[in-house]
Amino acid sequence: MTIFRSLRGGLLSEASRTIAACALLGLLGAPLVAHAADSVEQSFVPSGNVHVLARFSDAQPSGIAHLADGRFVLSFPTSAQTHPGPVLAVWKGGSELQPFPDAATQKEMKSPLGMTVDAQGRLWVIDEGVVAGQTEPQTPAIILIDPRTNSIVQRFALTAPVVLPDSHINDIRVDLTHGKSGTAFISDTSQTTHPALIVLDIASGQARRILAEDKSVSAVAGHVMEVDGKLFRYNPDHAQMPQGGVNGIGLSADSSRLFWTPFSSRRLYSAPTAVLSDPVISEAGLIQVVRDEGEVGVVDGIFTAPDGNLYMADEERHGVVRRTPDGTLSLVAHDPRLISPDSLALGETANSLIMTVGQWARLPVFHDGHDMQQRPYLVVRIDLKNR
């Protein structure tokens, strides 16, 4: 037998028991009282400052450069998948493209990828030297284009032993303060486990491989990355996601330091360009001056703003991280549409960035031959005001 007791422990009367039972039934059947919306983790809420400027259905843009005359140039690499249209083009807004430097020159380039504009306004372009399905050895090169004449003015072939059969030449930055005519720094991410930085003396055309397989340029063993809501571990024998060594590189505003990040890592490294560009300094001497700048995230492209801030395309946060010269980090944009944020350039104003957005992790090579891409590919503007 169930006995109802009062809060003081005494027996309740029959009437009291009836009233109590009715009250309990009323509570159980009553609708929930309205309340505030459940709180959510803010990184899942789009930052609101990402605006789509262009959508491309056929070709995946990667590199982007903002020329001194205001034009934007996009690269459309073909090493992973071929496509119709130009491989290097002036982006005229929307999906409108104009082959750059011109239509005829497209045949002289195989797979343009990373790009940079030097202090003289010249455009430097990585050509991977390979197209999807190619069986002969890759022939990577650095292409120098003069935007004033819209013409290729020089080509620097990268050959063995500077590049290896498994090299993946990725991005480039040019320092005109060291060397007779300047020095180019190039990232070799490696298709396997042999990453390095490549240093090109522009005057002589001589290139050398440095920091090869050093910790600062290499993938981290056991590295785990989130891709489309799933976790994958770095596996050099069977890649299930984009992975590898040194990828994004950037110069400080005064060209005194080079910054870089291995892709399968979350750390940023740097070293003085005066030392990196000096061919006399030993490999041990180079390793000694490398500085670990700490964690920043899983980074692809790096852009240096005129004020010295580094902006980094963050693959896992699907956004852009800013690093100030004193090392302070902030997430200035994040949006689920930023599937594989790639390369960055200054926008039309100092308060904006333009970024290419790919879907590299959805390529068939990472999914046993199944194409998981959901086109179109994007170019976006990121507003930095009040960020």
DSSP state letters, 90-150:
EE-STT-EEESS-TGGGGG-S-EEEEEE-TTS-EEEEE----TT--SPP--EEEEEETTTT
pLDDT at 25 over 60: no
Over residues 290-294, the mean pLDDT reads 98
Burial of 173 (0-12, 13-18, 19+ CB in 10 A): buried
Tokens of 311: 């902006």
Could you tell me if residue 149 is left (phi over 0), alpha (psi between -120 and 50 degrees) or otherwise beta?
alpha
- Gap between the Cα atoms of 240 and 18, Å rounded: 66
pLDDT band at 16 (very low <50, low <70, confident <90, very high): low
- Three-state SS for 281-336 is CCHHHHHHHCEEEEECCCEEEEEECCCCCEEEEECCCCEEEEECCCCCEEEEEECC
The mean predicted confidence, pLDDT, of the chain is 93
Element (H, E) at 273: helix 273-276
The number of beta carbons lying within 10 Å of the beta carbon of residue 149 is: 9
60: Cα separation from own chain's centroid: 14
Q: How much is the pLDDT for 44?
A: 87
- The DSSP secondary-structure symbol of 343 reads E
Tens of pLDDT, residue by residue over 325-340, are 999 999 999 999 999 9
CB 175 within 8 A of CB 181: no
Is the pLDDT assigned to residue 8 strictly greater than 50? no
Confidence class of residue 29 from pLDDT cuts 50, 70 and 90?
A: low
Mean pLDDT of 47-57: 97
Return the percentage of the chain with pLDDT > 90, whole number. Answer: 89
Chain centroid to CA 226: 14
Kindly tell me if the per-residue pLDDT of 376 is higher than 50.
yes
Which pLDDT value is given to residue 3?
41
Residue 7 has pLDDT above 70, yes or no: no
Please enumerate in sequence order all residues whose Cβ is within 8 A of that of 157, keeping only pairs 6 or more positions apart, or say none: 139, 140, 141
DSSP element (H, E) containing 274:
helix 273-276
Residue 292, class by beta-carbon neighbours within 10 Å (0-12 exposed, 13-18 middle, 19+ buried)? exposed
Share of the chain above pLDDT 70, in %: 91
pLDDT digits (tens, 9 = 90+) for 30-43: 555 677 889 988 88
User: How does DSSP classify residue 34?
Assistant: P
Alpha-carbon distance 315 to 190, whole Å? 19
Whether the per-residue pLDDT at 23 is higher than 60: the answer is no
Give yes or no for residue 55 having a pLDDT over 80.
Answer: yes
- Residue 17 confidence (pLDDT) above 70: no
Residue 43 is predicted with a pLDDT of 86
User: Which residues does residue 323 pair with via DSSP β-bridges, in sequence order?
Assistant: 310, 329
pLDDT tens string 72-123: 999 999 999 999 999 999 999 999 999 999 999 999 999 999 999 999 999 9
* CB of 332 closer than 8 Å to CB of 387: yes
- Asked whether the predicted pLDDT for residue 301 surpasses 70, the reply is yes
Least confident of 14-23, 288-297, 355-364: 14-23
- Answer whether residue 12 shows pLDDT above 80: no
Is the previous residue joined to 31 through a cis bond, with omega within 30 degrees of 0? no
Q: Is the pLDDT of residue 10 over 70?
A: no
Answer for the pair 289, 271: CB distance below 8 angstroms, yes or no: yes
Positive/negative CA dihedral, 159, 163, 168, 174: negative
For 304-323, the pLDDT digits (tens) are 999 999 999 999 999 999 99
